[in-house]
Structure 1
Amino acid sequence: MSAALEVSELKKVYKGKRVLDGVNLTVEEGSVFGFLGPNGAGKTTTLRVVTGLARPTSGVVRVLGHDVSTTGNAVRAQLGFLPDVPALYHWMTATEFMHFAGDLFGLEHRVLTQRTAMLLDTAGLGGVKTRIGGYSRGMRQRLGIAQALVNAPRLLLLDEPTSALDPIGRKDVLELIDSFRGRTTIFFSTHILGDVERVCDSVAVLDRGRVLTHAPIHELKARHGRHKIVMEVTEGADKLAMAIAERPWAVTVVSGATGSIEVTVTDVHSAEHDIPRLVAAQDTGLVRFEAGEMGLEEVFVDLVGQAGL
């Protein structure tokens, strides 16, 4: 499978400050790629370089096989971009705004009319006559994604598309992103871990201008090789937690005030066999026992914490 985006040793310095420090990325065509990092990590700066809005201090960025520093508008015409705060004309309707955006790409009227109807229907805005000034934040974001797709781009770049949305707005935007899976390559920049885990195939974690890891999400979790067990006992949680902490497979053990114990383990099979024996030896009751993989949030916190040491 070919790469829609390749970033090699990308560095960017602003006023003596190194904002990007040797960023390397590969985004496969047709994938939904999560670009994850805390605010200020350098995500928006990376997107500005990819779109040609900023020049790199050094390094190479290839979009659809072309170097963005030397390519012309032909390649940029194959990009769709939604900034974190999209500029929408509040006096327009959704259809008027879509036609305005399509005209900028020189789309033929018949094609633009058909594409506008399809994209607005997909975005849940088909038939909406209200002017954009009366839209909710979620509606504006969905319209922003629709206009970013009006030129049928091969690479869609989204900068914090779910930021500041309420739960319903976030759900609608994530479902819209997921609906375009396989129809274009989607580069989804965000600081919201749950959104990445829900819709993305692969993820890169950026912190302080450096990529800490870059892998498919399932490989990233497997690579860290840890599982989490959450349990609750009727009594003696602190004593049981101390006994669990002595086992070789236990990484961290935290007991709560209500008899709950959370254990991070390296060998879930051994833990599942040993913990019931320890519970029986303590002569206490086991109310709840759940085992599962570490979530992306735990992996992220672990990675960023290590980088900050």
Structure 2
Amino acid sequence: MIKTESLTKVYGGVKAVDSINVTIEKGEVCGFVGPNGAGKTTTIGMMTGLIEPTSGRCFVKGMEVTKNPLAVKQVIGYLPDGFGLYSHMTAAQNLRYFSKFYGMKEAEANARIAELLGEVGLANVEKKVGAYSRGMKQRLGLARALLNDPEVIFLDEPTNGLDPEGVIQFRRVIKGQAAKGKTIFFSSHILDEVQHVCNTICIISKGKIMAQGTLDDVKRQMRKTPRFSIIVKVDGKMPRLDSPDIIEAAYQDGGATIRASSDLRDFIFDEVVRSGLRVRELRLEEESLEDVFLETVYGGA
């Protein structure tokens, strides 16, 4: 549904996006994750036809974006980071105005607008948009992106400014769209948000794709050497462990947290029992995407 081939954008001799190859299948919810300045907004700009690539190509629903910009815009919805709304109009009036760009008839537009405002939690809000909070404007922007019932949805930092209730509504809307078979590609630097709603992830750093696929795929691609975090609790003083696979160990009264390059649970169990102690707890704690991301992209910062 979305495919890029060596997509590149150069500004002043610097590659903001460097030969990226991404494929997003129909019905996928893909989180596009990277630090600020990684190239996320530029990439989405090229995918939606708002930015001309320096080289490479992008296809949406089989159409090359640069050659079919109007046809592509008919099948996509887009929520940019920093979008425009008419402050002197209500939410419904804003959406009614934008509906004219899609040739929607009045009755069709009114029904769609009522449905969307209900979905994003803005039904029966009659005040002008100029009096909206940042979060309310963000919710209205999401409704605008869905106005034409698009097959492919692009969202750039869609949870910016949302309060916890707004974030929950966003997740509900995205999951609802995915259940309808819509393809969704959204950027974020908030890893927790991505893991809540996405079935695939794409990591970008300094304009280059570092990993893409399922959560497990991405962790495996980014972490060439596996890491295991093992929690152990005993009924006495935890013995000091000696293994070349131990990266670091933090000992506490009655236990320890071990980071290792292999699963050392059998070794730890044997060592504890050999010391004459009883194991109260021994479990493997899965490394989070955030742990892998921070260490790989920021060097553990």
Normalising by structure 2, what TM-score? 0.88
- Look up the match of 2:202: 204
Counterpart-to-counterpart distance in 1, 2:111 and 2:227: 49
Q: What is the aligned-residue RMSD (CA, Å)?
A: 2.7
SS in 1 for 2:22: strand
**Corresponding residue of 1:190:** 188
Partner of 1:303 in structure 2? 296
Q: Distance in 2 between matches of 1:17 and 1:56?
A: 13
Task: Indicate the residue corresponding to 1:88 in structure 2.
Answer: 85
Distance in 2, Cα, partners of 1:258 & 1:86:
54
**Residue 66 of structure 2 corresponds to which residue in structure 1?**
69
SS of 2:140's equivalent in the other structure is: helix
Structure 1 residues 13-22 or 279-288, which shifts more?
279-288
Per mean C-alpha deviation after superposition, the further-off stretch among 31-40 and 159-168 is 159-168
**TM-superposition CA deviations, 1:75-117 (whole Å, max 9, x none):** 2111111011222222222211111111122211121111111
Contact 1:7–1:62 (8 Å) recurs in 2: yes
Return the match for 1:263 from 251, 258, 274. Answer: 258
The TM-score, its normalising length taken from structure 1, stands at 0.85
Match in the other structure for 1:163: 160
- Kindly indicate whether the alpha-carbon contact (under 8 Å) linking 1:138 and 1:173 is maintained by their aligned counterparts in 2: no
CA shift at 1:45, angstroms? Answer: 0.4
* Residues 38-77 of structure 1 aligned to structure 2 (within 5 Å): 38-77=35-74
Give per-residue Cα distances to partners, 1:60-83, cap 9 Å, x unaligned: 111111111111412211111101
CA spacing shift, 1:247–1:82, aligned 2, 3 Å:
same
- For 2:44, the aligned partner's letter is L
Contact kept? 2:8, 2:55, Cα under 8 Å? yes
Residue 236 of structure 1, CA deviation? 5.2
How far did residue 34 of structure 1 move? 0.7
Deviation, 1:43, is: 0.3
**Cα distance in 1, alignment partners of residues 169 and 252 from structure 2:** 38
The answer for unaligned runs of 5 or more in structure 1 is: none
CA contact under 8 A between 2:135 and 2:160: conserved in structure 1? no
The DSSP-based 3-state class of the residue aligned with 1:61 is strand
Point out the more displaced range, 35-44 or 100-109: 100-109
Distance 1:128 1:290 in 2: 50
The Cα of 1:44 is off from its aligned counterpart by 0.3
Please report how far the alpha carbon of residue 232 of structure 1 lies from its aligned counterpart in structure 2 after TM superposition: 5.2
| Alpha-carbon distance in 1 for matches of 2:12, 2:254 | 53
Change (3 A) 1:40 1:280: same
- Please give the alpha-carbon distance, in whole angstroms, between the structure 2 residues aligned to 1:260 and 1:36: 36
Percent pairwise identity: 34
Structure 2 Cα separation of the partners of residues 40 and 258 of structure 1: 44
* Conserved 8 A contact 2:138-2:161: no
Question: In structure 2, do the counterparts of structure 1 residues 278 and 129 end up closer, same or farther at CA, with 3 Å as the change threshold?
Answer: farther
d(CA) in 1 for partners of 2:85 and 2:255? 49
1:293 is matched with which residue?
A: 286
Secondary structure, aligned partner of 1:40:
coil
Residues 68 and 226 (structure 1 numbering): CA distance in 2 closer, same or farther, change over 3 Å?
same
Shift of 1:284: 6.3
Match of 2:128?
131
Alpha-carbon contact 2:5-2:58 (below 8 Å) kept:
yes
The one-letter code of the counterpart of 1:133 is G
Would the aligned equivalents of 2:8 and 2:54 in 1 still touch at CA under 8 Å?
yes
The 1:260–1:145 alpha-carbon spacing in structure 2 relative to 1, beyond 3 Å, is farther
Unaligned runs of 5+ in 2: none
Shift in Å at residue 264 of structure 1? Answer: 3.4
1:25 paired residue number: 22
Partner residue, 2:178: 181
Which residue type is aligned with residue 265 of structure 2? E
CA distance in 1: counterparts of 2:175 and 2:84, whole angstroms = 23
Contact kept, 8 Å, 1:142 with 1:176, in 2: the verdict is no
